Amino acid sequence: MRADEDREYVDYVGVRLPRLHRTAYMLCGDAHQADDIVQATLTALYVHWRRAVAADNLDGYVHRIMVRRYLDERRRRWSRVLLGDHVPDAAEAAPGADDGFGERDALTAALRALPKGQRAVVVLRYFSDLTVEQTAEALGCSTGNVKSQCARGLATLRGAMARVAERERS
Amino acid sequence: MNEDEQQLREGLEAIAAPPSRLEAETLLEAGRRRVFRRRGWQAAGGVALATTGVVVAVPMVMREPAPPAVITVASPPSSSAPAVQRGCTATALKLPPGAKDASADGVDPTGRYIFGHDSVGQDFRPILWTDGVPKRLPQQEKSVQLTTVNSRGVVAGLATEGNKEYVFRYENGRYTRMKTPPGRWHVYPWPLMNTAGDIVINAEPEGNSGGKDSISLFWAAGTSTAVKLPLPTEANVYDITDDGTIVGGTYLDGVGQYAYAWDRTGKGRKLAVPAGAKTLAYAAEGDWATGGIWRGKDAAKAALWNLKTGAVTELDGEGPGDSVNGDSWVVTTQQVFRNGKPLGLAAPNGQEVFPRGVSNTGLVVGHSRVPNTNGGPSTPRIWQC
């Protein structure tokens, strides 16, 4: 790759990295595995960068690779990650996050308890802001399947969100 | 967008992730290495390349145990590629009825039994090949993932019940669920087994991640009641050999430190560590163990330990090592090393090759895939080397 393309890649990755890491974390529920998935995704992106930037929707392309890597990692029998010595002390602060650790924990736990398919649909639709069509493409399923999984996931999470709202009121 | 959806968006926004070690610049370096390696392989075309690096193999036979030593490869300049050995014959494995694709994910030491999967959505469907003949194992749960097979054809793995995984042993046509100690545990990463049928794995309290407050478990052959191994706090185990040696590593605050070999009583010895590096042992067979060597932010290198002497060889390629055979061949994510040099594993039409395991007879198993398909159909393959 040429130097200007390298710069484009670093610029793109630098901006998207925190959110991609959070997306992977929500998908798999483990920070180590999330790093593994994101690294594999973005390394693959570099290899195909020229083709990727020509795509209509680069973010959709990246999410598609990431979901495939997530599935591949499960197939590969993941968790061979060793964190280096350069991990920041504090967790990434989510933009706009308040101090309600309990509230976030409740939703995190509820998200983790979802079946993997529902969790992936919910994360891609409502955190990564993919459309129904893009989510279906990323997961390799039909739009009808995305809609039904969304409905089920929302119904399950409604309870957790209601508890969060209840605590906010009290 | 309705109110529920909006509330969920806001809730997800507020979820913080633990810190990541990734940075854009290091990913750029990893991408460059990947491009270089692909080009190097394409240029090789199956012919050995010249290299300035010298791979020093640990002697195959040591009559007397020697003090642990570190033998490190001489790293070639970044512009060269390691020598590639020829001589492996690729064959596609037959698919069971109804399978459109599959992967071969491991092999027993004799090469007779190969396990693998196809999948529906995100769920594994187990396949066991015996002498090359595929057979689907019963789909006991929605997802059944095989992770190890021994030379008697006994298989172990992870089954998903609801959203929770448990360890099973499959023997004589029956699944047996391996019990965990009282409490709610999440087992990880996956079970491995020796010829006798002893199984090891780790478990962390449900809800934890990254191995927080983990324990290591042992199921003796023929039993389903776990014994907690008396290992140091945070130690994790990954494999067990036929003589009962258990390999793994120590951790500190969730960060891997040093590769170790223990016995069942918890008596352990630290395996040799290259200066300034951290190590973990992920697999073992006979007198050999493999795993990873990490230095700062650099990508892992594959490690090969002689368990008799404790000496380590650092292999010249991307690590860590995932599997090893009794003749010290090492399998990493994308390569197989024999005597410290990568083997040339080819597949038709320039397909990308993903090796997963190697038997003591030199049978490599894995799968191949058309490049750039990011999850397209896989063909399960064997390479007899």
pLDDT tier at B358, thresholds 50, 70, 90: very high
The domain of A150 spans 98-170
Clarify whether residues A3 and A83 are in a common domain: yes
Asked if A74 and A135 sit in the same domain, the reply is no
> Which comes out higher in pLDDT, residue B292 or B333?
B292
Last residue of a domain, one of A94, A122, A149: A94
Residues A118 and A74 in one domain: no
**Structure confidence at residue A88 (pLDDT):** 37
Which CATH number is B123's domain given?
2.130.10.10
| B374 interface with A at CB cutoff 8 Å | yes
User: Which pLDDT does position B6 carry in this prediction?
Assistant: 85
Nearest CA in chain A to B103: A75
Those of residues 145-164 in B touching chain A at CB distance below 8 A are 145, 147, 162-163
How far the first Cα of chain B sits from its last, in Å, is 58
Shared-domain flag, residues A88 and A127 = no
**Across A59-68, B64-73, B370-379, least confident range:** B64-73
In a domain, B227, yes or no: yes
pLDDT in tens, B133-155: 999 999 999 889 999 999 999 99
Number of domains into which chain B is organized? 1
Chain A interface includes B122 (CB < 8 A): yes
Q: Looking at the structure, do residues A5 and A53 belong to the same domain, yes or no?
A: yes
A83 and A123 belong to one structural domain: no
A27 and A108 assigned to the same domain: no
A2 and A49 share one domain: yes
Q: What's the token pair of residue A84? A: 């280096």
A155 and A167 part of one domain: yes
Assigned token pair, B160: 């998903």
Determine contact: B5 vs chain A, CB below 8 A.
yes
The confidence score (pLDDT) of residue A78 equals 42
* Residue A113 and residue A39 share a domain: no
Partner-chain contact B163 A114, CB within 8 Å: yes
Instruction: Tell me which of A75, A94, A113 is where a domain ends.
Output: A94
Q: Which two tokens stand for residue A163?
A: 């508890």
Is the CB of residue A53 less than 8 Å away from at least one CB of chain B? no
At B369, give phi and psi (nearest 5°): -150, 145
The residues in A 78-137 lying below 8 A from B, measured between CB atoms, are 78-80, 82-98, 100, 103-104, 107-109, 111-117, 120, 122-123, 126-127
Instruction: Give the count of domains, chain A.
Output: 2
What is the per-residue pLDDT for B121? Answer: 67
Look up residue B333 and give its DSSP letter. Answer: S
**How many other C-beta atoms lie within 10 A of the C-beta of residue B143?**
23
B370 within a domain of the structure (yes/no): yes
Spatial neighbors of A121 by CB under 8 A, at least 6 apart, are: A135, A139, A146, A149, A150, A153
Minimum distance, in Å, between the CA of residue A11 and any CA atom of chain B: 8
The CATH number of the domain holding residue A160 is 1.10.10.10
Q: Are residues A145 and A161 in the same domain?
A: yes
Question: Mean pLDDT in chain B?
Answer: 83
Shortest distance between the Cα of B356 and any Cα of chain A, in A, equals 8
Q: Does B103 touch chain A (CB under 8 A)?
A: yes
**pLDDT tens per residue, range B362-374:** 999 999 988 765 5
- What's the confidence (pLDDT) of residue A91? 42
Consecutive sets of 10 residues in chain A, 170 residues long: mean pLDDT of each?
Answer: 81 91 87 83 85 79 82 53 38 42 71 83 91 84 86 84 69
Contact map slice: B 50-79 vs A, CB within 8 A: none
> Alpha-carbon distance A136 to B72, whole Å?
48
Domain final position from A94, A125, A145:
A94
